[in-house]
Structure 1
């Protein structure tokens, strides 16, 4: 466990070089769990968490760009670019990129989200310099070869087709559209067949140049790592590409801010598909990731649909056998959020499932949760928080995302304290704020007219 430190920033520059600013953000015991941050003169941030007792390390670079930064014509460009950065640089071919990590038993991947993109590699600690060199080369030296753009277009179209075959995934995109409409947050991260087919090499290359300069990137490394060595190796890799010289003296971009207007509740979006199971998401606006109410809302979500003892699981699955999978979730963005309840059930059971969901949400608004439910949900969240951070990949994800989204780090102890401090009164207050709003609804499945007629009643 770690605690905040007030260590003063100190220079780490070599003779004749611009000064980098380094400070310790969280100080661990015997060095374990210590989090340090360096800002290079070109605006590149480097954050590390040291765990001397492990033999692995995960290295990642986070780009301060996601699908919500796309115009309608560029929908899918962020994800397209994620694929293309693996397809060759000025120094390496696509095969050389993949074989470099394969040769040392490493793992390399990437993902695109609504508000950021991450590229990462997990390796043995001795192979960390290789991972740093390869991933930094990908981010700074991609050639975006026209032939690779066309070849990868087919791969992405297949990925879209694969996703479309999974109605359990698509229903969440449908729900986002119900809440946000035809806005960046309401569009799918992958784009559509039409938008992906319309993207040209020049459009993607301009998007790359605009969003991948050092001021918009965060480097994160966790595991058996030495902060000073990581800084030197990253700086050398970016200097080799001339990236830092282009932005020398610039400051990093800060976390996102702004105000997002969510569409009024009561919207129902139905996608008719000949599926054996209907997929349902009922939800309403939540809170942003900067809102202190996110802690009681997360506890409320866990109590409603976070485990086998949760209310929805007990009422929908255990007592009535209406669904195999049902859960509640929250999503927090920079300026808004979502709260949703999901269930997968036979189309004939959709009206009953929706009725139970509304009854349980209304019951919490009226009466809150019992003390026992609150204690159980806090215990569940505390345990999952700690257990979820037991590998270097999860630790890299935590410190990288924290820097991109909040510009600061929170210790595990402080996170647990925030969760444990939630009271039944906090739950009642956030339930009134969030659950007492008119919901919207997304449904995928083969419903007859009678079943469909019940949908609008569920959001009234």
Structure 2
């Protein structure tokens, strides 16, 4: 059972006790991501994520890494468009020590100017690495096309121009405005002891910062296109369509729809484009859900000579589905796949911790697994077809090609 307790400063602690496990997964979730940034701040949230690993008043960056290596644990972090997470997984008898180190990083990062400049260069290399991988870069270009006037379309890593303007003082000011108790959730799952929960409350339950309310502007989807030419062996294509938000009552209907389109090996795209025609090695679709909107996207990578054919097959397949091509058997199979994926996730403390932290942070509520299974069972062919008709219209298009060419 998932339990939530609120500290006196407003910070929430979410816990799920799993006594037969020998591990504890823990995460510090901050309700702040790249879409919270102003244009000149683009990339600052991700920069903060890096800097929290660069040493505190009592631990160097090397000592932070060594402490987790010594106890056989893992520690890492990631930045998304809506939140940031610092997480660790350790054996249960090391949990109190692990959360102590996480708290030290969270509250006492030094922001040393020398380390700051080195990490700026590290992130510039990370940006270059992404640009050197066209199968990643094409997704970044798609988001720019879909939401050109909204911060959610900007890259999480930022740009060389925005990174050049960051200073330790700007980082601290940004953290003071966004890293607040009400914006923070600590999630733990596994063989949790009462002493661990007391430790978390003692470490995180007293800090105070003035709250800065979120002011998201609802993104307006744009069906434009982007064509980028670069030195690459393959062409890469992304099609983007509007999706649904995390709170939408039809969220499982659109998830089933995505599975049927390209979310599995038995999906229409995989079977038609890879298995039947041999047009691509990698072909798939995905649905990204956020607090106020969502996106349904399709990706395929193929030779430049086959790009036009692959795109035409994708569009024809979607048209076929809209003309009544989805079967009841596909709905049933997709629902069972979703339920299987959900239940298999129960075997991982990390998956449970992450799920609980995101739900508390973004939804403020927790559904039991039985409630979720019931909602999946209620998915219907009629509703899936209705969503297909509404969402899949004129796409946003992003293409990366190995030579100069017109849009296909």
The reply to whether TM is greater than 0.5 is yes
Match of residue 254 from structure 2? 297
Aligned equivalents of 1:109 and 1:186: distance in 2? 25
Partner residue of 1:202 out of 165, 169, 191: 169
Taking structure 1 as reference, are residues 331 and 93 closer, same or farther at Cα in structure 2, changes over 3 Å only? same
Kindly provide the CA deviation profile for residues 103-152 of structure 1, in whole angstroms up to 9, marking residues without a partner as x: 10110000000000000110000000011101011112222121211111
Paired residue for 1:193, among 160, 175, 186? 160
Spell out the pairing of 1:229-268 with structure 2 (5 A cutoff): 229-238=195-204, 244-246=206-208, 260-265=218-223, 267-268=224-225
- What value does the CA root-mean-square deviation take over the aligned residues? 1.7
**CA separation of 1:448 and 1:87: change in aligned 2, threshold 3 A:** closer
Q: Structure 1 residue 86 and structure 2 residue 53: aligned? A: yes
Aligned 8 A contact 2:235 2:301 in 1: yes
Q: How far apart, in 1, do the equivalents of 2:390 and 2:13 lie?
A: 38
Q: Once the two structures are superposed, what CA deviation does each residue of 1:314-352 show, in whole Å capped at 9, x if it has no partner?
A: 111111110001011111111111111110111111111
- Corresponding position of 2:77: 110
Whole-angstrom distance in 2 between the partners of 1:375 and 1:182: 39
Higher relative contact order (CA 8 A, sep 6+): 2
CA contact (8 A) 2:246 2:293 kept: yes
1:275 to 223, 232, 250: 232
Q: Which residue of 2 aligns with 1:328?
A: 285
Q: Which residue does the alignment assign to 1:27?
A: none
- Quote the residue 1:150 is aligned against: 117
Out of 306, 315, 319, the position equivalent to 1:349 is 306
User: Residue in 1 aligned with 2:345?
Assistant: 388
1:38/1:231 contact within 8 Å kept: no
Tell me how far apart the structure 1 counterparts of residues 102 and 368 of structure 2 sit (CA, whole Å).
27
Distance, in Å, in 1 between the alignment partners of 2:10 and 2:295 is 32
What secondary structure does 1:326 align onto? Answer: strand
Is residue 37 of structure 2 the alignment partner of residue 70 of structure 1? yes
| Pair 1:135–1:165, CA change in 2 (3 A) | same
* Residues 259 and 361 (structure 1), Cα distance of their counterparts in 2 relative to 1, 3 Å cut: farther
Residues 246-277 of structure 1: CA distance to partner in whole angstroms, max 9, x if unpaired? Answer: 35xx9x999x7855132432x11011012111
Computing the radius of gyration over CA atoms, which structure comes out larger, 1 or 2? 1
Task: Tell me if structure 2 keeps the 8 A contact 1:258–1:334.
Answer: no
2:7 matched residue in structure 1: 40
TM-score computed with the length of structure 1 as normaliser: 0.85
Cα distance in structure 1, aligned partners of 2:156 and 2:87? 19
Question: Equivalent of 1:163, from 120, 130, 134?
Answer: 130
* Matched residue count: 408
Post-superposition CA distance 1:407-457 (Å, at most 9, x none): 01112222222112111111111111111x2111001122453xx242xxx
| 2:407 matches 1:413 | no
- Which digits, 9 at most, give the CA deviation of each residue in 1:171-203, with x for residues without a partner? 111100110014211111001122112212211
| Aligned equivalent of 1:131 | 98
TM-score by length of 2: 0.96
**Does structure 1 conserve the Cα–Cα contact (< 8 Å) formed by 2:52 and 2:105?**
yes
The yes-or-no answer on 1:375 pairing with 2:332 is yes
SS at 1:143's partner residue?
A: coil
